[in-house]
A and B are shown apart, each in its own frame.
Chain A
Amino acid sequence: MRQRWLSVLRSRRALPGIAALTLLGLATACSSEATNPQTAFNPRSDYATEGLNLFILVIILGVVIGVLVEIALIVTAIRYRRRGTNDPLPPQIHGSTIVEVLWTTAPVIIVGAILFYTLPVIFSTQAPAPSGAMDINVTGHQFWWEFGYPDAHVVTANEVHLPLGQTVNLVLQSDDVIHSFWVPALGGKRDAFPGHTNYIWLKPDSLGDFPGQCYQLCGYSHGNMREKAIIESPADFQAWLTAQQAPATTPTDPTAAEGAQLFQTRGCTACHTINGTPAQGTVGPNLTHLASRSVIAGSILQNNAEDLRKWLADPPAVKPGSIMPNLNLNDHELDVLVAYLQSLQ
């Protein structure tokens, strides 16, 4: 038995197949979360696992069949190559009904098998969300993601916090053009449409930060529209949510206080909301607890003084097509605004 297995391994014809499967395995194994945080092979929810298992099944079937047909093609081409100029005319075969029936039936069976495994997953993953699932509004904007927790009246941006082991229902919509929401660890993507809502519901099954981004061309900065899912323990999640519900802190530091003043007078309020202040704009991200987030500007910049300053100085230079204009802030204005924004814990 063992020898037969070894002889299969040694046979030259099996080589391409083995090579392909090895490559696939390598790719899956190498794509660890550390080197490729956005890999599709890192499911962290029931929804992601269900989709990925099906995908892996289809990959294996596809690769095996593809390799077999490639071998048939290459072997035929080499075996029946013309060797000399005087080769006799080969038999003039026009076809064979039996063979045609056989190789029509074979693919029917294969795609039938794939459908057999596919159809239940389509229906189970698109069923209505189970009752008790927590709604999270996911809204696409050019070029950033807004996340709302309607029951808690919390609105934030760029980072979506999810409680471990609790089913959440992501309600997707768009404020402008079509976007597509995909955090690979959470599971298959879905478009965020203007005018009607889509949903994905899932139960996160491990802690950690998982990146994602927009996957539907939405304008110049489509590539800069990124997001992060933060899966935390229910206790941490609740603590975060409670903190987010509080109105913004009033700065005590004089620089930050000057920044707060400037924020109200320099046009920022037209687009941004800071709860507890007159700023109630809804075009840009809600900044009430900006300092509690780790990233800004569609997640392409870190939330530190240097990056904040860079962003405020000229948003369209950082994010082409950004709706936030260059306000021509001078150095002093930048200093105080950065101080104020950093105080919004």
Chain B
Amino acid sequence: MAVVSAPLSHAGGMVVAPPSLADPAYQGLWSWVTTVDHKRIGILYGVSAGAFFVLGGLEALVIRLQLWQPDNTLVSAQMFNSLFTMHATTMIFLAIMPLGLMFFNYIIPLQIGARDVAFPRLNAFSYWTFILGGIMLNLSFLLGGAPDAGWFGYANLTTRTYSPGPGIDFWMLGLQVLGVASLAGALNFFVTIVNMRAPGLSFMRLPIFCWMSLITMILLLLAFPSITVGLLLLMFDRFFNTNFYSVPHGGDPILWQHLFWVFGHPEVYILILPAMGIVSEIIPVFSRKPLFGYAVMVYSGIAIAFLAFGVWAHHMFAVGLGPIADAVFASSTMLIAVPTGVKIFNWIGTMFKGSVAFKTPMLFAVGFISMFIIGGVTGIMHASPPADLIQHDTYFIVAHIHYVLIGGSIMALLAGVYYWFPKMSGRMLNETLGKWNFWTFIIFFNVTFMPMHWTGLLGMPRRVYTYGAELGVTTLNQISTIGAIGLAFSVLLFVVNVFTSLRYGEIASDDPWDGATLEWSIPSPPPTYNFARIPTVHSRDAWWGMKHPERLHLDPIEPTPLAGGPAHSTETAHTVVQTAPHDTTPSVIHFPSPSYWPFVCSAGLATMAVGLLLSDSFGEMTIPIFAILGLVLLIGGIYGWSYEPA
């Protein structure tokens, strides 16, 4: 066990803690490889996802440049298909999901008053598996061609007959590896939120971001098995000549579509629910009011998640499932508009009669609502099957998903970065640059994607590397391309803001926004152990209640008695904290040591996949060799992990 003793002014005690960033002996690359600290892992997720986001954005730029004019020849058809496949796969699995994970990692333990996640080493394992999966996917560009059958990889185009190259193998195995990371992470955060809450933090006092995260974890846990099965069947088809999707041998490509969308639609909510959680944190703080209809916000989140599993076939209205299926899936899809609408109304209700300060986080949060309304409205338009058959697989859908995923998820994630950056780095992001960032972002976003509604209705299909001049959509495409360049400029402003502010930004106070939740009660950036004393929560908006105890009676939840409580002892799996009334007794905080075993396990997992990928170039013997090598690493890693002293 790594032990560092340091005096703790707030607790008045001594702390036994793992090495912190402040410790000069514990820095450098190795400290990041072996870290099990949720905050460091959160930063790793953020930096990696940021890099992938830029990569995915550059891919989108090339796509837009290729579509600048009819019959353009900037990239080949094959490269274009790879670009849109990798753009979507990267943005969904390697940018938006891990950006969410940055906040789950960094913020959830702080908001629930915990010192770390439930399984810190599993957390490290999730990260390393994610990053190795992401690298593996992108190596395909250098090793024989990137995947090119779309992020949805419809069988039977993905079978060996129609996609003989290694691209689909990279995609399939990369997603499997990423799936392991997601499942491990989902279990971890589910247990963390359920088990690690501070005393008094009942479920109906849980910060709304944690609630939306908890719902996201349930979605992840239930949705990923479906795509895992789909990908396994595809792997058997491609490597071992089974015929799950091969029509001449009795297989059926529709099987893939069902398995994929049973995952794929909940996945959309996996991308948007954390965003909704972030916005639900920011709007009350900058309106200086509690969230309007907290309970309804929780229930509507649960309703969205529940309905998410009953709407998948609305991606398949053109497949010909028959009128009964179309009618049922149209109805369930439209129902989702209800909880979603309720959320939007509650955000507006929160601002109503508030004192709304338009700092950058709030600008992005309100921008999120505004763009999400547009994405929601077009969503209802294709919930009606006969209407969807007009829009399906045209640029109208491209416009819709980008209103939901950029105008929705990305803008909320940016709001989250502006909001929590001070907590994570100890410095404020530049406000002027932030406002420029916001206005250029929302303007160029609309310049890029608003015209696509018309591009689509005038008949341009998605995923075409070229279009004829006679289609009459050249001008619209050029407006979109100009918008995309502007959007790239806006992202550049953001990157500049992050890098300059890290160095020169104004020093952040512990609570720069007059926040409501517990992360604002501790220093910026937080010490390794987060809370010197595990706080006791007496109300919803715990920190707001602590700052304004006189207002506690306004809280609809009966507050537990605050002052003069007895000295108490709290025991959880990882911490033993004893707090005396006057903080004279030393506190003892026990932490797991840094460990490289999670990394070894992840490497083992990746190695097993690499054998299948190399079999194309180096012969089939690579499969068993790398499988055994990877298995040895994985089992060795688990063994070392299990016997490691806590």
Among the listed stretches A1-9, A114-122, A144-152, A284-292, which one makes contact with chain B, having 4 or more residues with CB under 8 Å of it? A114-122
Distance of A15 from chain B, by nearest CB (Å): 16
Which residues of A lie under 8 Å from residue B337 when comparing CB positions? Answer: 107, 110-111
Taking a contact as CB atoms closer than 8 A, the residue among B76, B326, B384 that contacts A126 in the complex is B326
Q: Which of A82, A89, A111, A226 contacts B334 (CB 8 A)?
A: A111
Beta-carbon contact of A320 and B76 below 8 Å: yes
Would B149 and A40 count as touching, CB distance under 8 A? Answer: no
B249 → chain A closest CB, angstroms: 10
B472 proximal to A (CB < 8 A): yes
Q: Which of A51, A191, A219 has the most CB of B within 10 A?
A: A191
Interface size on B, residues (CB 8 A): 94
A58–B389 contact, CB under 8 A? Answer: no
Report yes or no: B322 in contact with A126, Cβ–Cβ below 8 A: yes
Interface residues of A in 16-48 (CB under 8 A from B): 27, 31, 35-41
B384 touches A81 (CB 8 A): no
Q: Max chain B CB contacts within 10 Å: which of A76, A142, A184?
A: A76
Give the contacts of B315-333 with A (CB-CB under 8 A): 318-320, 322-323, 326-327, 330-331
Q: Which residues from 78 to 116 on chain A have a C-beta closer than 8 Å to any C-beta of chain B?
A: 80-82, 87-96, 99-100, 103-104, 106-108, 110-111, 114-115
Q: How far is the CA of A70 from the CA of B473 in the complex (A)?
A: 28
Chain B hits for A224, CB < 8 A: 466
Give Cα distance in the complex from A305 to B287, angstroms. 71
A94 touches B290 (CB 8 A): yes
A195 touches B247 (CB 8 A): yes
In the complex, whether B191 has a CB less than 8 A from a CB of chain A is: no
- Say how far A269's CB is from chain B's closest CB, in angstroms: 23
Asked if A77 contacts B356 (CB within 8 A), the reply is: yes
Q: Are A221 and B77 in contact (CB under 8 A)?
A: yes
Evaluate whether A122 and B385 lie within 8 angstroms (CB atoms) in the complex, with A66-B374, A223-B465 already known. Answer: yes
Expressed in whole angstroms, the Cα–Cα distance for A215 and B392 within the complex equals 8
CB pair A176 B389 closer than 8 Å: no
* Residues of the A chain whose Cβ atoms lie less than 8 Å from the Cβ of B369: 73
Q: A80-B351, A80-B353 are in contact. Are A31 and B461 (CB under 8 A)?
A: no
Q: Identify B254's interface contact among A66, A193, A217, CB under 8 A.
A: A193
Distance (Å) between the CB of B174 and the closest chain A CB? 19
Q: How far is the CA of A218 from the CA of B28 in the complex (A)?
A: 48
Note all chain B residues with C-beta closer than 8 A to A176: 156, 162
- Known pairs A55-B387, A100-B342; A220 contacts B162 (CB<8 A): no
Q: Contact check, B352 vs A94: say whether CB atoms are below 8 A apart.
A: no
> Among B357, B459, B465, which residue has its beta carbon within 8 angstroms of that of A36?
B459
Complexed CA–CA distance, A38 and B289 (Å): 51
B residues less than 8 Å from A198 (CB atoms):
319-320
**Does B562 make an interface contact (CB < 8 A)?**
no
Q: Does B338 contact A (CB under 8 A)?
A: yes
A246 within 8 A of B: no
Contacts of B344 in A (CB 8 A): 69, 73
Q: Of B292-300, B422-430, B517-525, B601-609, which stretch is located at the interface?
A: B292-300
Quick one: CB contact mask for A124-143 with B, threshold 8 Å, 1 for yes?
Answer: 01110000000000000010
Please state if A70 and B373 are interface contacts (CB–CB under 8 Å). yes
The answer on a CB contact under 8 Å between B293 and A95 is yes
User: Would you call B3 an interface residue if the criterion is a C-beta within 8 Å of the partner chain's C-beta atoms?
Assistant: no
Give CA–CA (A211, B469) in the complex, Å. Answer: 13
Cβ proximity bits B448-471 to A, threshold 8 Å, 1 near / 0 not: 000000100111111111111011
Flag A215-246 by CB within 8 Å of B: 1 or 0 each: 11111111110100000000000000000000
In the complex the two chains form, is A82's CB within 8 Å of B341's CB? no
Expressed in whole angstroms, the minimum distance between the Cβ of B395 and any Cβ of chain A is: 11
Q: In the complex, which residues of chain A have a beta carbon less than 8 angstroms from the beta carbon of B335?
A: 111
CA distance A117 to B386 in the complex (A): 10
Contacts of B327 in A (CB 8 A): 119, 122-123
| Distance between Cα atoms of A305 and B56 in the complex (Å) | 43
Instruction: Bits for B411-455, please: 1 = Cβ < 8 Å to A, else 0.
Output: 000000000000000000000000000000000000000000010
Q: How far is the CA of A100 from the CA of B468 in the complex (A)?
A: 50
B380 contacts chain A at the CB level, 8 A cutoff? yes
Q: Is B556 an interface residue (CB 8 A)?
A: yes
- For B323, what are the chain A residues with a Cβ–Cβ distance below 8 Å? 122-123, 126-127
Task: Say yes or no: A194-B247 contact (C-beta < 8 A), given A41-B457, A222-B464.
Answer: yes
A312 to B319, CA, bound (A): 35
Q: Mark A175-189, 1 if CB is under 8 A from B, else 0.
A: 011101000100111
Nearest-CB distance from A13 to chain B (Å)?
Answer: 15
Give the size range of A's interface with the partner: 35 or more
B162 contact from A172, A188, A191, A219, Cβ within 8 A: A219
| Smallest beta-carbon distance B160→chain A, Å | 13
A99, B296: Cα distance in complex, Å:
11
Can you name the residue of chain A whose Cβ is closest to the Cβ of B292? Answer: A95
Q: For A69, A106, A211, which residue has the most chain B Cβ atoms within 10 angstroms?
A: A69
Asked if B358 contacts A58 (CB within 8 A), the reply is: no
User: What is the minimal beta-carbon distance from A318 to any residue of chain B, in angstroms?
Assistant: 11
Between B331, B334, B342, B354, the greatest number of chain A beta carbons within 10 A of the residue's beta carbon is seen for B354
- Does B58 have its Cβ within 8 Å of any Cβ on chain A? no
* CA gap between A28 and B34 in the complex, in Å: 60
Q: Given A51-B389, A76-B348, is A178 in contact with B357 using a C-beta cutoff of 8 Å? A: no
Look across to chain B and name the residue whose beta carbon is closest to the beta carbon of A125: B386
Is A155 at the interface (CB under 8 A from chain B)? no
- Tell me the nearest residue of chain A to B252, going by C-beta: A195
B464 touches A72 (CB 8 A): no
A69 to B289, CA, bound (A): 21
| Contact of B573 with A by CB under 8 A | no
Which of B385, B459, B471 counts the most chain A CB atoms within 10 A?
A: B459
* Inter-subunit contact B458/A39 (CB<8 Å): yes
B330 contact set on A, CB distance < 8 A: 115, 118-119, 122
Interface mask (B134-154 → A, CB under 8 Å = 1, otherwise 0): 000000000000001110001
Interface centre among A27, A96, A106, A189 (most CB of B within 10 A): A189
Chain A residues near B81: list those with CB within 8 A: 217, 220, 222
A209 to chain B, nearest CB (A): 12
Report the Cα distance A89→B497, complex, angstroms.
31
Q: Which residues of B lie under 8 Å from residue A89 when comparing CB positions? A: 288, 355
Decide: A222 and B457 in contact? CB cutoff 8 A.
no
Q: Are B253 and A180 in contact (CB under 8 A)?
A: no
Select from chain B the residue with minimum beta-carbon distance to A28: B457
A100 near B386 with CB under 8 A, answer no
Q: Which 7 A-B pairs have the closest CB atoms?
A: A188-B389, A38-B459, A223-B464, A320-B77, A198-B320, A95-B293, A55-B387
Sample of 25 A–B contacts (CB below 8 Å): A38-B460, A50-B386, A58-B380, A66-B376, A70-B374, A76-B351, A77-B351, A80-B356, A91-B353, A94-B554, A94-B555, A100-B342, A104-B338, A111-B335, A118-B330, A119-B327, A123-B327, A126-B322, A126-B326, A142-B162, A176-B162, A211-B459, A215-B393, A217-B462, A320-B76
